[in-house]
Chains A and B, each alone.
Chain A
Amino acid sequence: MNSLDKSPNFFIREIPLIVLLVFWVIYSGIETIRGRFDILTSIIPTGLFIIAYVLVRLTSKAQKGRD
């Protein structure tokens, strides 16, 4: 059976979110530690993408639950 025939588990499915969150936390963490509050807002645009992604995932799960 092809590996694509099986639905990937939660961990594999959410790898992109985990990867982006790791980068996001590292970058914002180092900027905070080094006191670079002047550039800390640079994390906001990617943060909005993370929020949008999580919301879509949650609503699609809720939709599936109702169906």
Chain B
Amino acid sequence: MDLFLALELIALALTGLLIWHSASTRGAAFTWMFFIGGAFLGLVRENVVAQVAALNLYSYSPVAFHLWVGAAPLILMVFWSYTVYLALTFSETIVGGNLIIGKRRVWVILMSMVFMSSYACLNEAFASMYPMVLWKFKPALTIWGGTPAMVLWGYAGMALIFLLALLLVYKLRIRTIYRVMIFCASVIVMIPLHLLWIAIFRLATSAIG
């Protein structure tokens, strides 16, 4: 079997395990919101980034990925939710907090952002080997394998925006199905916010390049 297809299938299977963990430890409402909202965010965001040339960011290598939804690899349907879920769970354990209850919430979010940046190093350096991502611009700052340093900032921003939006919608006193729908709809706010977050970094580092 092709290495990439195997990796895509492994990632889907491991996300299944995380959904099981979430349902067992955090409940059905949280799990539906987190993973359906995450899938929606991944597919919409990555299609926007890959297809809107004016953003001048990146597209995905057609050689690397096998399963697609539009211009985005299918794996992006689970990518943001599993990375943010790992970030949240690791951070809650390490700082002894809980995002939903409100115990050390600020520390949980900050640690999640640090985790996401760490995961960006692992993932994007690996992605640069093939490459999985085709960058459309020459970055001012790069990390391993020529990956833009912007990705560390970008991953951290995704944790911040995703977790704050999730918290906001989760606290609404309405039925789960409506919370899931509102969280999915909130991607139209989350995506521009995240693009703005990235633009700030690009602007701040443009003088270096």
A contact residues vs B (CB 8 Å cutoff):
3-4, 8, 12-13, 15-16, 18-20, 22-24, 26-27, 30-31, 34, 36, 38-39, 41-46, 48-49, 52-53, 56-57
Q: Determine, out of B83-91, B169-177, B196-204, the stretch whose residues face the partner at the interface.
A: B83-91
B19 nearest CB neighbor, chain A only? A15
Chain B 19-59 near chain A by CB (<8 Å), digits 1 or 0? 01101111100000000000000000000000000000000
User: Does B145 belong to the interface (CB within 8 Å)?
Assistant: yes
CA distance A25 to B96 in the complex (A): 26
Q: A46 → chain B, closest Cβ, in Å?
A: 5
- Using A19-B17, A45-B121 as known contacts, list a sample of 10 further A-B pairs with CB atoms less than 8 Å apart, ordered by residue number in A: A3-B23, A8-B24, A12-B25, A16-B85, A18-B17, A39-B125, A39-B129, A41-B144, A49-B90, A56-B96
Contacts of A57 in B (CB 8 A): 93
B164 close to chain A: CB less than 8 A: no
Q: In the bound complex, do residue A31 and residue B18 qualify as a contact, i.e. CB atoms below 8 Å apart?
A: no
Residues of B within 8 A of A43 (CB): 121-122
Report how far A43 CA is from B23 CA in the complex, Å.
29
Contact A23 B89 (CB under 8 A): no
Classify the interface of chain A: helix, strand, loop or mixed: helix
State which of B3, B10, B21 has its C-beta within 8 Å of the C-beta of A15.
B21
The majority secondary structure among interface residues of chain B is: helix
The 6 closest A-B CB pairs, nearest first, are: A45-B118, A42-B125, A15-B21, A39-B144, A39-B125, A16-B89
A53 to B121: give the CA distance in the assembly, Å: 18
Flag whether B60 is at the interface (Cβ < 8 A). Answer: no
**B128 x A39 contact (CB < 8 A):** yes
With a cutoff of 8 Å between Cβ atoms, the chain B residues found around residue A4 in the complex are 24-27
B118 neighbours in A (Cβ, 8 Å)? 45-46, 48-49
Shortest CB–CB separation between residue A58 and chain B, in angstroms? 11
Task: Tell me which residues from 104 to 163 in chain B have a Cβ below 8 Å from any Cβ of chain A.
Answer: 115, 117-119, 121-126, 128-129, 143-145
Assuming the contacts A38-B144, A39-B126, A45-B121, asked whether A12 and B94 have C-beta atoms less than 8 A apart, the reply is: no
